[in-house]
Amino acid sequence: MGEASGSIYDSLRKKGVSRRDFMKFCSLMAATLALPVGGAAKIAEALEKAPKPTLVWLEFQDCCGNTESFLRANDPTVAQIVLDLLSVDYHETIMAPAGKQAEKSLYDVVKNQKGKYLVVVEGAIPLKDGGVYCTVGGRAAIDIAKEVCGNAMATIAMGACAWDGGIPGAAPNPTGAVGVKDAVKDITLINLPGCPANVVNLTGTIVHLLTFGSLPLTDSMGRPLFAYGHRIHDDCERRAHYDAGRFVQIWGDEGHKKGWCLYQMGCKGPETFKNCPAQRWNQGTSWPVEAGHGCIGCAAPHFWDTMTPFYKRIEQVPGFGVEATADKFGAGLAAATAAGLIVHRIARASKKKSSEEEEK
Amino acid sequence: MATERKKTYVWEIPVRLTHWVNFFSIIFLSVTGLYIGGPFIHPTSSQSYTMGWMRFIHLLAGYTFLMMVIIRVYWAFAGNRYANWRVFLPLTRRQRHDLGDATRYYLFLSKKPPYAAGHTMCAGAAYFVLFLLFLFQIFSGFALFSYNSPGFFHTLLGGWLTAFMNIQAIRFWHHMVMYFIWVIALIHVYLAVWLDSVEGNGLMGSIFGGYKFITGKEWE
């Protein structure tokens, strides 16, 4: 590894990737990025010339889920990404060196390739108590992030945690965990939220950078539009059942067997923007809704706080027990009002009677 | 009562129009809204379009409701003294006094009915709260719809709310506020029927015809 050498295409060819497979990859990327006709050729042209970019992968408060997602890349396979598409110089989970040697390779990149390398951040960064709740090699995550992201060409925050704190940042957030966007200011950053993020979107973002020299267009929350521009509900294969009013009502019921809409089971597809229905998971095999489980909204802001309960349409009324849905509470409120008015009417009647008696 | 009554034109056409169109749109919005929040009709045919129609009616009623609120706000500045915006806020000493009087009467603490040619101050204040609830329903409704149809128009109508509240909290309060509106509506009808029977000035009829038959006690 070390200094980038040769073009991506050259090294892919050396590894035995055929021209056909290379073009298939370029086409996949062009489709993912929703480029117009000719996009694949443009990507191919760029990758034939582009030098291999160096990439370092930082893990902070994470579960390694995005790494797992990354390892499941199949176009090209992870071996090809690691060895050929990118020069991954530091990745705690998959690198060979350990201890001081490993840390040295990280800081060598920061020193020698200042402003030229890419960083992927996985996991949240705790800020409370000086950042003591997550340290790597004795350094606080926040200090590492500031140095490594601050000197990079671009930072990719991969997964919900690196985006906005995710699960470590969920209430009551004991470690003061935040995402990269709140921890490190004034850096070139793109966010790929999701729990985990889809590796196709990571590859797409990097290919866009290599082809056009810039990061893809983003929405107001810093997420690339090619991946987060469409609502899951609008691209869902079960959408027709939603419009028809055919809903799964209990897990395993007739509707569930027939593949009806999971809306009533708390699916958060209508609240979530991501390209899951198009890209799918595990080599394009399936995705949650296709597998019969509603979307949990993992690409939505603070999803662990805002999208729960995962199996209900809306949150519960706090302080009224586990089954206090907004509708039960509201209906109770209306009934209580009606009862109160009836009591008031009776009171009026008895009042009138007594005043009439007084007049007599 | 032998008092001479004076026929007075209180509720102008825009006031009655917005009242009744809102009455029907709130019923349509509530029924379809309850369905959208928790579907209670379960068709099995692939030819059905139940959720589609419910959402269509909900949106249509929502737009109608928005138009009515706009007309009513305009009329709060252009209409007669009974429709004016000032009757909704206890701004003067007299109004605050009336607010106390009406509240005491409703709680059986006083025997003097409020007698108002237009709204009692209690009603006016309640309608101001109701107006705020209406505004929230409009903004939150269009905020929810903005996920369906992102763009300038829906951002303006309510999408901006997503910058301050997360989408699920908006959904939750959109449900809850419907029930708050029901509560106010129930009390509203109850008090109107009661006052009509006590004051005998044609209050219930006035929302249909616009005229009240006032005795003069209203001006005291």
Domain range annotation of chain B: 6-219
Contact A243 B187 (CB under 8 A): no
| Residuewise pLDDT in 10s, chain B (220 residues) | 446 788 889 999 999 999 999 999 999 999 999 999 999 999 988 889 999 999 999 999 999 999 999 999 999 999 999 999 999 999 999 899 889 989 999 888 888 888 888 898 999 999 999 999 999 999 999 999 998 877 888 888 988 998 899 999 999 999 999 999 999 999 999 999 999 888 888 889 999 999 998 876 665 4
**Residue A317 falls inside a structural domain:** no
pLDDT at A81 over 60: yes
Confidence band for A167, pLDDT divided at 50, 70 and 90: very high
Say if B198 is an interface residue toward chain A (CB within 8 Å). Answer: no
Nearest to A271 among B43, B47, B167 (CB): B167
Note the pLDDT of residue A83.
57
Q: Is residue A102 part of a domain?
A: yes
Q: Is B175 in the A-facing interface, judged by CB distances under 8 Å? A: yes
Q: Does A244 touch chain B (CB under 8 A)?
A: yes
**Mutation target vs A (from B40, B168, B174; most A CBs, 10 A cutoff):** B168
Please answer whether residues A157 and A101 qualify as being in contact, where contact means their C-beta atoms are separated by less than 8 angstroms. Answer: no
Which residues in chain B have Cβ-Cβ distances shorter than 8 Å to A341? 186-187, 190
Which residues in chain B have Cβ-Cβ distances shorter than 8 Å to A296? none
Chains A, B: CB contacts within 8 A come to 101
DSSP A324: -
CB contacts, 8 Å: A271 with chain B: 147, 167-168
Question: Is A282 or B27 the better-scoring residue by pLDDT?
Answer: B27
Confirm or reject contact between A258 and chain B (CB < 8 A).
no
Buried b (16+ CB within 10 A) or exposed e, B180-191: bbbbebbbeebb
Say whether both A203 and A283 belong to one domain.
no
Q: Is residue A157 part of a domain?
A: yes
Smallest CA–CA distance, residue A267 to chain B, in Å, is 12
Cα dihedral value B4, B9, B11, B12, nearest 10 = 170
Mark whether A157 and A266 lie in a shared domain. no
Selecting from A231, A243, A341 the residue whose C-beta is nearest the C-beta of B51 gives A243
| End-to-end alpha carbon distance in chain A | 107
Q: Residues 21-40, chain B: which have Cβ within 8 Å of A?
A: 34, 37-39
Residues of chain B with Cβ-Cβ distance to A333 below 8 Å are 179-180, 182-183
pLDDT tier at A12 (50, 70, 90 boundaries)?
confident
Residue A332 and residue A255 share a domain: no
Q: What is the CATH number of the domain that holds A278?
A: 4.10.480.10
Q: Would you call A247 an interface residue with chain B, using a CB distance cutoff of 8 Å?
A: yes
A2 pLDDT more than 60: no
Q: Does B172 touch chain A (CB under 8 A)?
A: yes
Sequence-distant (≥ 6) Cβ neighbours of residue B194 within 8 angstroms = A348
For residues A162 and A293, state if they share a domain. no
pLDDT of residue A80: 67
Q: What is the pLDDT of residue B115?
A: 81
Instruction: Give the model's pLDDT for residue A172.
Output: 94
Closest by Cβ to A341, choosing from B54, B108, B187: B187
Contact call for A329 and B179, based on CB within 8 A: yes
The length of chain B is 220
A317 chain-B contacts, CB cut-off 8 A: 176
Task: Give the end of a domain, one of A172, A197, A228.
Answer: A228
Instruction: Choose between A359 and A346: higher pLDDT.
Output: A346
Looking at CA atoms only, how far is residue A198 from chain B in angstroms? 22
Question: What contacts A78, CB < 8 A, 6 or more positions away?
Answer: A70, A71, A72
Q: Are B167 and A243 in contact (CB < 8 Å)?
A: no
Residue with the larger pLDDT of the pair A321 and B39? B39
Chain B contact set for A243 (CB, 8 A): 49, 51-52
Residues in chain B closer than 8 A to A314 (CB atoms): 37, 168, 171-172, 175
Residue A120 within any structural domain of the chain: yes
Same domain membership, residue A269 and residue A219: no
How far, CA to CA in Å, does B76 sit from each of A221, B87, B131?
A: 40, 9, 12
Q: Which of A60-74, A77-91, A113-127, B89-103 has the lowest mean pLDDT?
A: A77-91
Distance to chain A for B97, nearest Cα, Å: 23
pTM of the model: 0.88
Q: Which domain holds residue A289?
A: 232-306
Q: Which amino acid is at A268?
A: K
| B49/A245 CB distance under 8 A | yes
A231, A306, A344 member nearest B168 (Cβ): A306
Task: Tell whether A132 and A170 lie within a shared domain.
Answer: yes
CATH number assigned to the domain comprising residue A119: 3.40.50.700
Long-range CB contacts (< 8 A, 24+ apart) of A18-26?
A21/A76, A22/A47, A24/A75, A25/A75, A25/A76
Subunit contact A244:B183, Cβ cutoff 8 A: no
Q: What is the pLDDT of residue A241?
A: 95
| A5: confidence class by pLDDT, cuts 50, 70, 90 | low
Residue where one domain finishes, among candidates A228, A258, A280: A228
Is B133 near chain A, with CB under 8 Å?
A: no
CB contact under 8 A, B39 and A264: yes
Is B175 in Cβ contact with A327 (below 8 Å)? yes
Nearest CA in chain A to B41: A245
Name the least confident of A251-255, A274-278, B92-96: B92-96
Question: Does residue A318 belong to any structural domain of this protein?
Answer: no
Asked whether residue A313 is assigned to any structural domain, the reply reads no
- Domain boundary at A228, A246, A261, which? A228
The answer on A155 and A69 residing in a single domain is yes
Facing A247 at nearest CB: one of B39, B52, B166: B39
Q: How far is CA B31 from CA A169, B27, B41, B58, in A?
A: 38, 6, 12, 9
| Mutate: best of A260, A314, A325, A344, partner B, most B CBs <10 A | A314
Model confidence over A332-356: pLDDT tens digits? 899 999 999 999 999 888 877 777 7
Homologous superfamily of domain range B6-219: Transmembrane di-heme cytochromes, Chain C (1.20.950.20)
Is B147's Cβ below 8 Å from some Cβ in A?
yes
Q: What is the pLDDT of residue B198?
A: 87
Band of residue A75 on the pLDDT scale cut at 50, 70, 90: low
A313 reaches B (C-beta below 8 A): yes
Residue A32 has pLDDT above 50, yes or no: yes
Look at chain A and report how many structural domains it folds into: 3
**Mean pLDDT over the full length of chain A:** 89
Structure tokens at A239: 């959408």
pLDDT of residue A37 exceeding 50: yes
Q: Are A132 and A247 in the same domain?
A: no
Chain A nearest C-alpha distance from B171 (Å): 7
- Asked if residue A16 belongs to a domain, the reply is yes
- Cα-based distances in Å from A283 to A26, A101, A120, A200: 16, 34, 22, 10
d(CA A315, CA A331): 16
What one-letter code names the amino acid at A236?
C
Residue A314 belongs to a domain? no
Measure B187 CA to nearest chain A CA, in Å: 7
**3-state SS assignment for residue B158:** coil
